[in-house]
Amino acid sequence: MSEERTADWDPRDASVLNNQVEAFDQMRSRCPVAWSEFLNWSIFRHADIINILDDPNAFSSFSNHRAVPNGMDPPEHTAYRSALAPFFTPDQMSRLEPGFRSIAAELATPLINQPGAEFIDAFATAYSLRCAVEYLGWRADRWEHLRGWTHGNQQASLARDRETSAALAREFTAIVQEELADRRRDKKAQDDLTSRLMTTTVNGQVLSDADIVSTVRNWIAGHGTVAAGIGILTWHLASDAELQQQLRGEPDRLAQAIDEILRTDGPLVSNRRTTTRDVKIADRHIPAGERLTLMWIAADRDPAVFQDPDTIDLNRNLDRSLVFGWGIHDCIGASLARLEMLVAIEELLSRTTSIEVADPSTVKRMVYPSNGIASMTLTLH
């Protein structure tokens, strides 16, 4: 930093962590560009965030820890993203759907008619990580290893515990390298996505093992967000019997409902950029080389863009929603995330007549960098 700064807020204060949505709404109105030691510059308004995302030359996504492709800038980002796009085509999603539906059914069945069943670990987390393993073509028990890894990552991120983060990175690398080694020992060509990654080329060069590890890490981290999303969606449906019954009667509106519910209550708190030159955002002058934290949740609840932002409106125009990002760095796996969440909610609704929160005191929210549900007991009739 070039000068001493006074913090405008503390993102780790209990008043923020107890209700991130409300706290970010207040910051958007009170101090739309705010400084803190923890997040540096936090940006809360939708228009400011769109301007940043639309100018990757001034606001870099580059990460010192290689992150394929989201931690890259053009032209490197363009080449890697183009190489990975075929992993998320409609045909690919169609092939995956039956397996995802089977996983959802298997996990939902034992919860039905069990009063006060714990839902997050038993369904949301297990489902999202089992889908990830299915998607990658890994052996089925791998999801248990990934559960500990994703949970540890969230805790280390909040604590800024670099030593733990480094240990978790080594643990994840070992998991991926073991999967790659298994495929290299088996000389037969395998028709799974990990095998396809091993033959994917960028600028004429096959992806290195390090780039495969980075790519898969990004995808698995995304499944943590999917789990958070499923928890949020189920909580909203369980808390709003009228909306729940409407979607039972109008299942074709479920995809729109998922995007709209997550606009009001997003699972992913933020994303980062770094200034490449001096900039002015709102009334704040920010030098080159400064880190920005784009507050997705606040932007998607900005009343300047979304009228009555608290209201879940199934007819709302969501063209400006940031649930899956924006611009060249929008979520490459959005089609996969949407499919997983849609299948999960479809299976829960189709197998029940009502979903209710068994005990409101059991509903505990996650904290930064997630905004999901940490625990929740439901009764599925």
pLDDT at 113: 92
What is the Cα–Cα distance from 197 to 211, expressed in whole angstroms? 10
CA angle 236, 240, 241 (to 5 degrees): 130
Highest CATH level, class, for 14-380: mainly alpha
Report pTM: 0.93
pLDDT at 158: 61
> Phi, psi at residue 114, to the nearest 5°?
-105, 105
Q: Given phi > 0 = left and psi -120 to 50 = alpha, else beta, which region is 335? A: alpha
pLDDT at 164: 77
Residue-range domain boundaries for the chain: 14-380
pLDDT at 1: 41
What is the Cα–Cα distance from 150 to 297, expressed in whole angstroms? 21
pLDDT at 154: 66
Amino acid symbol at 261: I
Q: Number of C-alpha atoms within 13 angstroms, CB side, residue 221? A: 21
Q: Which residues of 247-271 are buried (b: 16+ CB within 10 A; e: fewer)?
A: bbeeeeebebbbbbbbbbbbbbbbb
Amino acid symbol at 231: G
Amino acid symbol at 144: E
Query: Which positions of the chain have pLDDT values less than 70?
Result: 1-4, 151-161, 187-190
pLDDT at 187: 66
Q: Number of C-alpha atoms within 13 angstroms, CB side, residue 32? A: 15
> Phi, psi at residue 180, to the nearest 5°?
-65, -40
